[in-house]
Amino acid sequence: MKSTIVNRLIAVMALLACAVATFAAPGTPGWLEEKMYASGKINTVVMVVGVVLVGIAAWMFSLDRRLGNLEKRIHDRGTQHKAN
């Protein structure tokens, strides 16, 4: 079950990377891009977005492990009650 979630997460990340590459078109930068690149703030924005995405992925992985442990305990309790 865990490998399925990891595979789906990798697939989604790969598709997002393709979309980012698709929208990267050359041309004259707008005023917002010009200001962000000139002041170096674009790096900060990219890092914040990256940290948020990594945080969400870590939280989802942790939640999946907790749910897996709970499901296992529930299954084990059900098996014990049937044996008695």
Q: How confident is the model at residue 84 (pLDDT cuts 50, 70, 90)?
A: low
The pLDDT of residue 42: 80
Residue 48 lies in domain: 2-83
Among 49, 63, 55, 71, smallest CA distance to 5 is for: 63
**For the segment 21-59, what is each residue's pLDDT rounded down to a tens digit?**
555 556 666 777 777 777 878 888 889 999 999 999 999
Q: Is the pLDDT of residue 10 over 70?
A: yes
Structural domains counted in the chain = 1
The pLDDT of residue 56: 97
d(CA 56, CA 78): 33
Q: Assign 3-state DSSP to the chain and report helix, strand, coil percentages, each to 5.
A: 90, 0, 10
The pLDDT of residue 19: 58
* Averaged pLDDT for residues 58-66: 95
